[in-house]
Structure 1
């Protein structure tokens, strides 16, 4: 099978890669930015799909030389086809697009591996999953954030090397994730990013209720330091009343946060206690006092 990439000598994945005609389905936040990154790397985005006003605006800003076409038309002509659609839309899309032999097909879904592109593989295309570990705004500011970014690549045989080379061209580096581990991988990222945003926004609301006029400013240094410490130190970065075994303060917090946040606070406090105890940061007796307080809050909530 011939491919647009020619293998280089030992110690290098590929020699000089040719300029490829790229098609993007669709011009969402991810597709428009990754398409622009490939364009910046020397490839040429010739066509993109999109119908919403937001997609058309992003395409005009980030992919100005690309023409707007249907997904089927984009796929028919692209040498490199980028599928940047929601996870749930990808299987159906993969079933109906006109793939061909020698075509390179990448999707950016976090939860799917390469197997979802089986129709492309069966048609002779080189298919891979390549998920960038970043949240996107869909603006030019995202392009600079791609430098040094890890991408989760899942592919078979030669397609893995091609995906690795393309990721490198955008400024990122590939981390290979097994097909069977894609859902676990994606859950980790969603837990870290989506739930972090929810926690911070809940904290903003509590601070506003407490009379803090600029909650984002108040939280910025605290949350940035907590994140940096957790990434550097793991469970040694845990602080606060749970790790100190201060059950009385935990009980006061549960009363103060209100009924909407109480179950969330209790669940996270229990998980914090479990991690602190396993890491040797919290004695069994203190852990039990915290757990009893949390159990009491749940019982009281159920009675109400």
Structure 2
């Protein structure tokens, strides 16, 4: 599969941000222009126009019949119905289909696999904001979780990741939910934490909370990625109960909505420090968090 155009025709099912970025990235690997399908024909037409070398189709079945590579980039809730619709199309043994959902592996594609299709899950571990040109560049070096229904399908999925410029990471079917939970915990919850900190700084009278936080948060992120819990600093590590008590009082008074998540994360931090260091951090700090 070293050819620049190893597929006769590539089909994109979906019209969202991921569909747009992957469609744009794969357009050069299809001999014929891409086919794009979406439940909203206007969105499908718009996406085909943004890709350039593509055209919209009004029937998902036409993608199943014409394309030897199909990308299922629909929402999680629409994934199973789309698979059901494609499974009603006559089998095309040479076709390869993958979905981009993080939570599901290849098993959800079994109705297609039993009909002779090669199937896989290929999830890009990155965010998509609706700028396909930028996201095609961001895929270079990004990690993609790959789960193939067979060894052959897994190898083909890894080749697709190479076309996108990414790095494949094999995730077993059984571990897909844990993999996805880890991403959501690390990325989605990080946004929640930062938003809460920004709100508290605004309440404290800071005019530009994001500018104040940015260097600290970026340094903490690099420390956490590079050193794990050994990158921790601050009053919980020191066991400074008086400081933590002041936090609790201030949050209760000025930002009461932030107090429960602050306490929950502080307790999780104390647990992680105890596990990493083999001894319990300050009992006084724990009492403040549990009180």
Check whether TM > 0.5: yes
Give the secondary-structure state (helix, strand or coil) at the position aligned to 1:277: helix
Question: 1:5-84 counterparts in 2 under 5 A?
Answer: 5=1, 18-41=6-29, 45-50=33-38, 51=40, 57-63=46-52, 65-84=54-73
CA contact (8 A) 1:251 1:293 kept: yes
1:89 aligns with 78
Cα pair 1:101 1:124 within 8 Å, conserved: yes
Q: 2:137 aligns with which of 128, 144, 157?
A: 144
Question: In the TM superposition, what whole-angstrom CA distance separates every residue of 1:231-288 from its partner, at most 9, and x where no partner exists?
Answer: 111111111111111122222212222321111000000011111122228x53x432
Structure 2: segments with no counterpart, 5+ residues: none
1:292 aligns with 287
Aligned pair in 2 of structure 1 residues 247, 43: CA closer, same or farther (>3 Å)? Answer: farther
Partner of 1:8: none
Distance 1:20 1:228, change over 3 A: farther
Q: In the TM superposition, what is the alpha-carbon distance from 1:54 to its structure 2 partner?
A: 6.1
Stretch moving more, 18-27 or 55-64: 55-64
Matched, 1:133 2:125: yes
TM-score (norm 1): 0.86
SS in 2 for 1:203: helix
1:173-192, aligned counterparts within 5 Å? 173-192=167-186
Q: Cα RMSD over matched residues? A: 2.1
Deviates further, 256-265 or 151-160: 256-265
Task: Give the Cα–Cα distance (whole angstroms) in 2 for the partners of residues 56 and 229 of structure 1.
Answer: 45
Q: Which runs of 5+ in 1 are unaligned?
A: 6-13, 297-304
Q: Map Cα deviations across residues 39-77 of structure 1 (whole Å, 9 max, x no partner).
A: 145665521123286665444323453224332332322
User: Secondary structure of 2:116's match?
Assistant: coil
When residues 32 and 267 of structure 1 are mapped into structure 2, their CA distance, relative to the original with a 3 A threshold, is same
Q: Which moved more, 1:54-63 or 1:213-222?
A: 54-63
Distance 2:289 2:33 in 1: 55
Instruction: Say how many residue pairs are matched.
Output: 282
3-state SS of paired residue (1:279): helix
Change in 2 beyond 3 A, CA 1:63/1:265: farther
| Equivalent residue for 2:277, pick from 277, 280, 284 | 280
Aligned 1:107-122 pairs, distance under 5 A:
107-122=99-114
**Corresponding residue SS for 1:32:** helix
